Structure 1
Amino acid sequence: MKTVILPIILAHECSCVVAEGKKLVSTCFSCTSRLPLMPKTHEDELFEKSLSVLRHQAQTRMPQFSAGGFFTIDYSMLASMIGHLTANLIIILQFLQKQ
């Protein structure tokens, strides 16, 4: 039973992390657009600079999980696994019917 549930949990968690990474980028853009054009204090200027660095890091280092670079681990992996499993089951059933 663990072999069935573990890939589902793994794909879900990896997809959630990737979604949070994308949400962080959009949140940074949203916060940046709300800042005044001219910072009033030095702290405002530092905050704007920090937000810009965070946004840049979040864009360039978007999280993505892969299995050694062969395929990404997300919901598409589950669909692929189910497709391959179904195809193999059909082939096995065809061989069993011939016997």
Structure 2
Amino acid sequence: MSTDLSFATIERPDGALVLAVAGEIDMSNAASFATALTAARTEAGTDSFVVDLTAVEYLDSAGLAVLFQHVDHATLVAAPLLAPVLAIAGLDDVTTIKS
């Protein structure tokens, strides 16, 4: 059974592409998360894009592994409770994390 996860692609006024993610990211839906990130990366082209994780309530190692595949093109935005998890995983060493 897959946990609830939703995506929305938004273009900010400055032209930056944002993939807004809401719900829980775990091994049951990590493939969907990977597909959404790949689509956003493709849509952004050579530009970087923003992954808004502020509405993510849970993120396990499968979700972290997916994020690591896109760090060279993604800036992460995380809620205050999720940002330390991303930092402990080492994502702050390879990409920008904003909270």
TM-score (norm 2): 0.23
Which is greater in Rg?
1
Structure with greater contact order relative to length (CA < 8 Å, sep ≥ 6): 1
